[in-house]
């Protein structure tokens, strides 16, 4: 019991590090662009590169986890994130800032699919609940980095110091992971995942459908993350109001993450909650078009995003029979999915540079949501809610 508690604590603190390197950028975009003279398309790379890394390096993560152990690679990845983030303290050029995004992105990419395998391996009967801990921590990391980046810049009188601050959490997480997980595993038994050959399900049609669902969700999510404050400012709001609305978008995802396992116990249908999440995002974007109070629109978008992410994470775990399959299915959905997602911020940046407006981009995101809902129906066929997933859901939610 004590070992499980320590592992959950380590999982929580490790998961805090999956978004600060990305979310800390948006509140400081104006300062970064002014000092380094960057176009909207170039500055969007600071969000898109880590997301693209999450796509390109997820298969590497699974192979490394199979060869050297899931636990060991997660610990190493936390150090990589810390190093990439710390280097930002010395950033004085566009190229170096982009390199830091690449380094931190590789670390984030290695952790993502392996945490799904870690949860499946050590908490097979409580996957939704532990996945909720992971999602809440991830969202908290995003919320803190979004809300505190601007105040930290004022405190340190430097956007570089503000960005580099988040390396502290990564290095602390690496130490805690070593003490609470790796040493505990070594004491009890050799790492179960070492020496396991894991193959990604590239030839599986179901895996591709789940991947597309994840990719469209990621495309929308990282578009909001990169540009929502600027979209709201473009509607005539002040920078302070736009930042507050963005904080609402991020913070409201925390209670949603906590509610997901409770809602799934009462209504296990993945399809139901995927469609509801998509509709809420759609309502939020329509409210932006109608110039309804932006923070209200941000809240709708945040509630939708907060529900879509953990359920999309759960789908490949549902399809897996063991920890290594969970890691491989998660790696595939995140690999190609994050590559798809990386294009969201870039496309919005291009649209802004070409039209000096985000209005067209909002309509484009509405089209993506409609397409995503069609894919969600394909990824959750009727039998998956009864026969295929029903028994697994009961096991996972005991």
64-94: per-residue pLDDT in tens?
A: 888 888 899 999 999 999 999 999 999 989 9
Which pLDDT belongs to residue 234? 84
Query: Rounded CA gap, 94 and 238, in Å?
Result: 27
Higher pLDDT, 42 or 370: 370
Average pLDDT over residues 119-147: 86
What share of the chain has pLDDT > 70, as a percent?
Answer: 91
Q: How confident is the model at residue 190 (pLDDT cuts 50, 70, 90)?
A: very low
Average pLDDT over residues 143-164: 93
Domain count, the chain: 1
What does the block give as tokens for 202?
């590239």
Which pLDDT belongs to residue 343? 87
CATH code of the domain containing 225: 1.20.1250.20
pLDDT higher than threshold 50 for residue 323? yes
Q: pTM of this prediction?
A: 0.77
Range of the domain at 338: 2-396
Average pLDDT over residues 192-198: 54
């Amino acid at each position: 019991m004590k070992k499980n508690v320590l592992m959950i604590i380590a999982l929580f603190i490790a998961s805090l590090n999956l978004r600060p390197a990305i979310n800390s950028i948006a509140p400081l975009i104006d300062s970064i662009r002014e000092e380094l003279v960057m176009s909207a398309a170039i500055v969007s790379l600071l969000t898109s590169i880590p997301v693209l890394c999450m796509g390109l390096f997820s298969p590497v993560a699974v192979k490394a986890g199979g060869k050297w152990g899931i636990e060991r690679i997660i610990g190493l990845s936390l150090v990589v994130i810390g190093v990439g983030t710390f280097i930002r303290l010395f950033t004085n050029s566009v190229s170096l800032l982009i390199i830091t995004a690449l380094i931190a992105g590789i670390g984030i990419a290695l952790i993502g699919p392996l945490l799904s395998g870690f949860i499946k391996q050590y908490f097979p009967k409580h996957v939704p609940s532990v996945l909720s801990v992971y999602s809440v921590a991830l969202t908290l990391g995003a919320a803190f980095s979004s809300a505190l980046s601007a105040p930290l810049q004022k405190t340190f009188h430097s956007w570089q110091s503000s960005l580099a601050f988040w390396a502290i959490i990564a290095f602390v997480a690496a130490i805690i992971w070593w003490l609470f997980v790796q040493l505990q595993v070594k004491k009890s038994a050799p790492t179960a995942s070492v020496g396991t050959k894991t193959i990604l399900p590239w030839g599986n049609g179901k895996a591709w459908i789940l991947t597309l669902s994840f990719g469209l969700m990621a495309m929308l999510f990282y578009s909001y993350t990169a540009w929502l404050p600027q979209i709201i400012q473009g509607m005539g709001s002040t920078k302070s109001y736009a930042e507050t609305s963005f904080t609402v978008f991020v913070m409201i995802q925390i209670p949603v993450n906590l509610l997901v396992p409770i809602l799934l116990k009462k209504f296990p249908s993945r399809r139901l909650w995927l469609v509801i999440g998509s509709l809420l995002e759609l309502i939020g974007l329509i409210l932006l078009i109608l110039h309804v109070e932006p923070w209200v629109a941000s809240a709708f978008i945040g509630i939708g995003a907060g529900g879509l992410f953990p359920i999309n994470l759960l789908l490949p775990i549902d399809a897996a029979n063991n920890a290594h399959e969970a890691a491989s299915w998660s790696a595939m959905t995140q690999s190609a999915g994050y590559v798809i997602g990386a294009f969201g911020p870039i496309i919005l940046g291009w649209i802004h540079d070409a039209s000096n407006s985000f209005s067209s981009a909002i309509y484009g995101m509405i089209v993506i949501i409609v397409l995503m809902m069609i894919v969600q129906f394909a990824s959750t066929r009727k039998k998956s809610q009864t026969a295929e997933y029903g028994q697994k859901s009961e096991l996972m939610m005991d």
